[in-house]
Amino acid sequence: MPVSKRDKKISLTKVSKAPKAKPAFVEKVRSLVNHYKFIYVIKLVNSRNQRLVDLRRELNDSVLLFGKNKLMMIAFGRDKTQEIKPGLYKLGKFIKGQCALLFTNRNLDEVRGVFNQFRSADYARPGVEAEQTVILGAGPIPKFAHTLEHPLRKLNLPVKLNRGIVTLESDYEVCKKGHTLTPDQCRILKYFEVQISEFQVNILAIWRAENGKVEDVVESDASNVITSLYPKIRVQCETYQGECCYFSQVPIGDEEDKGNEQQEMEVL
C-alpha cells in the first residue's frame, strides 16, 4: 500500500529557543562602558578582513565592536533621561553609515598612532572613489607578454605591437581622484600594479569617562592621518640592467601639470 503524503512525523520534544541577539548586543555594549575610560566612534575606509584581524591583535587590551547603528544608539541612550553614563547619549549623532566602536583605555594620540601604523595599500575595487589620479606614460611595456595586447585594447588602451613588444602609443589617464572607479579601470590598475586603495581608520568622536564629555575630532584627527598616496602619479615601465622590468610610480606636482599644458598649447 502506498504511503500517504499526509502521513507526517511530528516531534513532541521541546526545544528551548535561543535568546534574541538584539538585547544581548545592547547589554554587551552597556557592560563595556563600565570597564573602559574612552569610547571612540571610528570609520573604516577600504576595509580588508586581514587588516582588521591584525588591528584587533594589536589592540588586544581594547574591544573593537561592530553592530547595527540603531542598537548602538539604544545602548548609549536616546536622550539624557535614558543614558547610562553622563554625556554618553551624545555619541549617537556620530553613529552614521559604516562605523564601529572602540572601547579602550588608550588616549587619542596612542590610538591615532596605532591606526597610522596599520594603514596599507591594496588594489581598488569597482564602485569606490579613486584616491589618486593615475596616468600611464607612453612607451614600450616589455613587462607585458605580446598576448596581452588584445586584452589591453579591449580596455580601450591605445596599445600596439612594435616588434613583438606591447607599446603604449600615448599617455593615458586611467582614473581621476574623487571619481568612481569602473571595473575596467580597476582591471587596468591591476595590470600596471597600481594600488590606490588605502586601508585607513578615521576617528569621528571620543567620549571620556572622567568628565562625560563628547568631543568631535573629525577635523583635528584628519590632520594627523598619515597617507602614502600622492594626489597624482605617472606610471612608466622601466628596465633594470636590461633584464628586470618593473613599473615606476612618479608623483606629479602642480608645476609639472602647468608645464605640460603650456607645451600642449604651443603645439596647437
Burial tier of 30 (Cβ tally within 10 Å: 0-12, 13-18, 19+): middle
Query: Which among 92, 86, 70, 81 has a CA at the least distance from the CA of 33?
Result: 86
10: helix, strand or coil: coil
The domain that contains 180 carries what CATH number?
A: 3.90.105.20
Q: Does residue 169 fall inside a structural domain? A: yes
Q: Is residue 17 part of a domain?
A: no
- DSSP conformation letters of 115-179: HHHT-EEE---TTSBPSSEEEEPPEE-TTS-GGGHHHHHHTT--EEEETTEEEE-S-EEEE-TTS
pLDDT for 159-196, tens place per residue? 999 989 999 999 999 999 999 999 999 999 999 999 99
The number of residues making up the chain comes to 268
Range of the domain at 78: 22-123+198-224
| 256, pLDDT greater than 80 | no
Residue 145, in any domain of the structure: yes
85 within a domain of the structure (yes/no): yes
pLDDT of amino acid 18: 54
The mean predicted confidence, pLDDT, of the chain is 86
pLDDT bin (cut points 50, 70, 90) of residue 19 is low
**Statement to judge: residues 188 and 202 lie in one domain:** no
Q: Which residue matches cell numbers 557592560? A: 31
Report pLDDT for 157. Answer: 94
Residue 248 lies in a domain: yes
164 shares its domain with 213: no
Residue with cell 565592536: 65
Residues 115 and 27 in one domain: yes
* 118 shares its domain with 154: no
Q: Which residues contact 44 (CB under 8 A, 6 or more apart)?
A: 52, 98, 99, 100, 199, 200, 201
Torsion of CA 48, 52, 66, 30, to 10 degrees: -170
Helix (H, G, I), strand (E, B) or coil at 43: strand
Q: Does 245 fall in a domain?
A: yes
| pLDDT band, very low/low/confident/very high, at 240 (cuts 50, 70, 90) | confident
Whether the pLDDT of residue 20 is over 90: the answer is no
Q: Domain tally for the chain?
A: 2
In a domain, 266, yes or no: no
pLDDT at 232 over 80: yes
User: Does 10 fall in a domain?
Assistant: no
Stronger pLDDT, 258 or 182, i.e. the higher one: 182
